[in-house]
Amino acid sequence: MVKVGIVGGTGYTGVELLRLLASHPQAEVAVITSRSEAGTSVADMYPNLRGHYDNLCFSVPDTKTLGACDVVFFATPHGVAHSLAGELLAAGTKVIDLSADFRLQDAEEWAKWYGQPHGAPELLKDAVYGLPEVNREQIRNARLIAVPGCYPTATQLGFLPLLEAGLADASRLIADCKSGVSGAGRGAAVGSLFCEAGESMKAYSVKGHRHLPEITQGLRRAAGGDVGLTFVPHLTPMIRGIHSTLYATVVDKAVDLQALFEKRYADEPFVDVMPAGSHPETRSVRGANVCRIAVHRPQGGDLVVVLSVIDNLVKGASGQAVQNLNILFGLDERLGLSHAGMLP
Ligand SMILES: NC(=O)c1ccc[n+]([C@@H]2O[C@H](COP(=O)([O-])OP(=O)(O)OC[C@H]3O[C@@H](n4cnc5c(N)ncnc54)[C@H](OP(=O)(O)O)[C@@H]3O)[C@@H](O)[C@H]2O)c1
């Protein structure tokens, strides 16, 4: 049994970790933290988990208790893992961070986008970007994993086959992405209120979103050089889901794009390339650790459209984090993650 600690257990990604780990046969949650709910039992706070964690209560984060775990997930705002990860790693505990703290390899770039100095630049050399479809071998031997963000997961998985094959004009990529409101977390904010976000849709951060440098870092690796990306996120009135509509110019019309995508992801348990002509729906991945993709070339032109959907809380966060745990501890990658999406 892998002994698990979770820092930030009352947030949306924290409770999603609990939901997924409840059916994991090889992992046991020993510690779950919340400063505001210390002493409350998990089952009282989350009735959907009754019968799964009846003896588990939230506690204040304490590195001694957390350091007795085999692995600790951080489901916290940025900056928290910076301050606690070093001590846990020194105690021999592995760290899987769902925040952005270790996703960017350049500490100065991180400071620019997050408006504060990087709190643990000395750990960056140990950080592995936890996108299994790219870094599976490095994840196996890691001790610190940076779980990719939700927009970055859907967007990178959609663009990778085209860029790795050198087919797309990497200087003019467009990612037009939509997110459900749970992407903003559980904290009270006017923009996330039902009356503000319901029955409406809007773009935001067109000038520059924090996920932009993370996506370009990954796409640069795939393309083997610089990329030019326009990334426009939107807030949509759904609870879960990311829908990325991706555009790339592919002049070579002889290439069979459907075969290219199918081949790239043939051995990937959590990427589903749909049949030609498909339109993946976010509801088909709700609650499931799946990225569902379709590739189109409208009117046979040179602009290729890739549609990529995930659940922001599963393949975009907690599911991908559990996938990383499975790889890290040499377990079957699908453990705790094999259920289908909830539809309708
Ligand atoms: N929501 C998504 O779809 C999504 C997707 C991918 C990645 N992420 C990332 O995952 C992280 C968590 O997101 P979320 O949506 O779950 O956030 P959230 O709903 O706002 O929850 C944040 C959690 O962190 C705890 N926390 C806050 N400040 C803390 C501190 N200084 N020390 C210890 N614990 C602290 C909170 O509990 P207490 O305050 O009670 O301690 C709470 O349990 C964020 O970095 C986010 O960017 C989120």
149 C-alpha to ligand 1 centroid (Å) = 13
How far is the centre of ligand 1, averaged over its atoms, from the C-alpha of 310 (Å)?
20
Number of domains in the chain: 2
**CA atoms of 299 and 307, how far apart (whole Å):** 16
- State whether the beta carbon of 187 lies less than 6 angstroms from ligand 1: yes
Q: Are residues 179 and 290 in the same domain?
A: yes
Distances in whole angstroms, Cα of residue 102 to Cα of each of 98, 167, 252: 9, 30, 37
Q: Please check whether residues 206 and 162 belong to one and the same domain.
A: yes
- CA 218, distance to chain mean position in Å, is 13
- Residues 170, 72 share a domain: no
Q: Whose CA is nearest to atom 3 of ligand 1?
A: 183
pLDDT digits (tens, 9 = 90+) for 75-120: 999 999 999 999 999 999 999 999 999 999 999 999 999 999 999 9
**C-alpha of residue 80 to centroid of ligand 1, in Å:** 9
Which of 150, 177, 195, 291 does the annotation list as catalytic?
Answer: 150
Q: What's the pLDDT tens digit per position in 274-292?
A: 999 999 999 999 999 999 9
Q: Is residue 211 part of a domain?
A: yes
Residue 115: the pLDDT is 97
Of the chain, the end-to-end C-alpha distance in Å amounts to 35
If asked whether residues 254 and 188 sit together in one domain, one would say: yes
Mean per-residue pLDDT, 130-149: 98
Whether 144 contacts 95, CB under 8 Å? yes
**Which of 129, 159, 174 marks a domain boundary?**
129
Specify the pLDDT at position 288. 98
Same domain, 175 and 299: yes
Q: Which pLDDT tens digit goes with each residue over 224-261?
A: 999 999 999 999 999 999 999 999 999 899 999 999 99
The 291-296 sheet, strands edge to edge = 202-203, 229-235, 173-179, 242-249, 303-310, 291-296, 271-273
Question: What is the phi/psi pair of residue 97, to 5°?
Answer: -100, 120
Ligand 1 nearest-atom number relative to CA 10: 43
Ligand 1 proximity of 51 Cβ (cutoff 6 Å):
no
* pLDDT score at 54: 87
Q: What is the DSSP string of 294-310?
A: EEE-GGG-SEEEEEEEE
How many beta carbons lie within 10 A of that of residue 54, not counting itself? 10
Which amino acid, one-letter code, is at 23? S
Cβ partners under 8 Å of residue 166, min gap 6: 223, 224
Query: Does 208 lie in the same domain as 178?
Result: yes
Q: Report pLDDT for 305.
A: 98
Domain containing residue 159: CATH number: 3.30.360.10
Question: Is 150 a known active-site residue?
Answer: yes
Is 152 touching ligand 1 by the criterion CB < 6 Å?
Answer: no
Overall average pLDDT of the 300-329 stretch: 98
For residues 306 and 160, state if they share a domain: yes
Q: In sequence order, which residues have a C-beta less than 8 Å from that of residue 148 and are 6 or more positions away?
A: 103, 129, 130, 131, 156, 214, 218, 316, 320
Residue range 134-145: mean pLDDT, rounded:
98
Q: Beta strand 2-7 with 27-33: parallel, antiparallel or unpaired? A: parallel
Dump pLDDT digits (tens) for 29-64: 999 999 999 999 999 999 999 999 989 999 999 999
Closest C-alpha residue for ligand 1 atom 19? 11
Distance 12 CA to ligand 1 centre (A): 7
Q: Is 236 in the pocket of ligand 1 (CB under 6 A)?
A: no
Does the CB atom of residue 84 touch ligand 1 within 6 A?
no
Task: Write down the pLDDT at residue 186.
Answer: 93
Average pLDDT of 179-186? 96
Identify which of 10, 13, 42 to mutate to test ligand 1's pocket (most ligand atoms within 8 A of the CB).
13
- Burial (CB < 10 A; 0-12, 13-18, 19+), residue 169, is middle
Q: How many residues does the chain have?
A: 344
10 Å Cβ neighbour count for 136?
16
Question: Could you give the CA distance from residue 220 to residue 222 in angstroms, rounded to a whole number?
Answer: 5
Q: Are residues 114 and 161 in the same domain?
A: no
Question: Rounded to an integer, what distance in angstroms lies between the CA atom of residue 126 and that of residue 216?
Answer: 21
Tell me, yes or no, whether 168 and 294 share the same domain: yes
Average pLDDT, the chain: 97
| Cα dihedral value 321, 323, 325, 329, nearest 10 | -170
Beta bridge partners of 97: 74, 146
Helix (H) or strand (E) holding 186: none
The CATH number covering residue 19 comes to 3.40.50.720
User: 217 alpha carbon to ligand 1 midpoint, in Å?
Assistant: 24
Q: Is residue 49 part of a domain?
A: yes
Cβ(149) – ligand 1 distance below 6 Å? yes
Percent of the chain with pLDDT over 70: 100
> In which domain, by residue range, is 23 found?
2-129
Percent of the chain with pLDDT over 90: 99
Nearest CA to ligand 1 atom 36: 8
Q: What is the C-alpha to C-alpha distance for residues 32 and 318, in angstroms, rounded to an integer? A: 15
Task: Map tokens 């990311």 to a residue.
Answer: 242
Give the position, in ligand 1's atom list, of the atom nearest the Cα of 184: 1
User: Is residue 330 situated within a structural domain?
Assistant: no
CB neighbours of 195 closer than 8 A, spacing ≥ 6? none
What pLDDT score was predicted for residue 297? 97
What's the longest Cα–Cα distance across the chain? 63
Which of 327, 266, 318, 265 has the alpha carbon at shortest distance from 288? 318
Say if residue 110 is in the same domain as residue 185. no
